[in-house]
């Protein structure tokens, strides 16, 4: 673009898309970044910061389902007719979690092939033990707690008692029993988010004592 000055001569004005050039008294010159380029750089930086912030908020704040894991089962005590199991209750969130209303049932399962005991058939409608954990408990963020649960199998039917006695007989070369433990539990985060009634189950093959 040309601009006519007072003396009648035309001088070229710098383009808006090109950087302004300033001199320092004839010794040298330096460039100044145009305003549009500076605005684009500022917008890019803000967008980058927003993306990082969104990722961080998503990672830390989005609720993650609680996790209940089976640990182990002690040998079935044929004398006291009791069964002990350990479960781990894991909080996968960055908030404290409160657990309550733990309800468990133990089912007796039978199988014909020892190598295929995972396909054992369980007596769903006739649990040999029902356990309601009366206390509530809590876990810190990313924390867990182990519970030792003691089941009394007094609910076993006469037929189930005979089955257990047969499986635990010293004359039985296997002397193992399959139990399936099914349970439900309520879990709630300290930020108010509730996971409702979470279900879990585990099939375990245990010995006799």
CA 200 – CA 29 distance, rounded (Å): 74
State the pLDDT at residue 113. Answer: 83
What is the rounded (10 degree) CA torsion for 143, 200, 108, 125? 140
Q: What is the pLDDT of residue 111?
A: 86
**In angstroms, what CA-CA distances link 76 with 52, 67, 84, 92, 157?**
53, 26, 8, 32, 17
Please give, one letter per residue, the 3-state secondary structure of 25-89. CCCCEEEECCHHHHHHHHHHHHHHHHHHHHHHHHHHHCCCCCEEEEEEECCEECCCCEEEEEEEE
CA distance 68 to 74: 18
Question: Tell me, what's the pLDDT at 171?
Answer: 84
pLDDT value of position 199: 94
- pLDDT tens for the chain, 209 residues long, are 545 555 555 555 555 555 554 555 555 555 555 666 667 776 777 777 766 655 555 555 789 999 999 999 999 999 999 999 999 999 999 999 999 999 999 999 998 887 888 899 999 999 999 999 989 999 999 999 999 999 999 999 999 999 999 999 888 877 889 999 999 999 999 989 999 889 999 999 999 98
pLDDT the model gives residue 14: 52
pLDDT at residue 68, as a whole number: 96
Separation between Cα atoms, residue 97 and residue 144, nearest integer Å: 10
| Tokens describing residue 85 | 């199991």
CB proximity list for 37: less than 8 A, separation 6 or greater: 19
Are the beta carbons of 208 and 168 closer than 8 angstroms? yes
Please tell me the distance from the alpha carbon of residue 141 to that of residue 145, in angstroms, as a whole number.
Answer: 12
Residue 55 has what pLDDT?
56
């Amino acid at each position: 673009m040309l601009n006519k000055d007072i003396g009648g001569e035309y001088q070229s004005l710098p383009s808006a898309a090109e950087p302004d050039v300033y001199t320092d008294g004839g010794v040298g010159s330096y460039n100044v970044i145009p305003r549009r380029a500076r605005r684009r750089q500022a917008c890019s930086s803000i967008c980058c910061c927003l993306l990082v912030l969104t990722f961080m908020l998503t990672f830390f704040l989005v609720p993650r389902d609680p996790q209940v894991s089976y640990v182990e089962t002690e040998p079935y005590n044929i004398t006291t007719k009791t069964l002990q199991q350990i479960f781990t209750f894991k909080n996968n969130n960055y908030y404290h979690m409160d657990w309550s209303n733990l309800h468990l049932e133990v089912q007796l399962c039978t199988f014909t092939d020892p190598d295929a005991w995972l396909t054992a058939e369980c007596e769903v409608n006739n649990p040999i033990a029902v356990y309601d954990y009366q206390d509530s408990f809590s876990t810190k963020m990313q924390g867990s707690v182990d519970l030792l649960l003691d089941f009394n199998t007094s609910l076993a039917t006469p037929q189930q008692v005979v089955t257990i006695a047969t499986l635990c007989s010293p004359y039985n070369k296997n002397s193992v029993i399959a139990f399936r433990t099914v349970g439900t539990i309520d879990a709630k985060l300290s930020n108010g988010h509730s996971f409702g009634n979470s279900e879990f189950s585990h099939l375990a093959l245990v010995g006799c004592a």
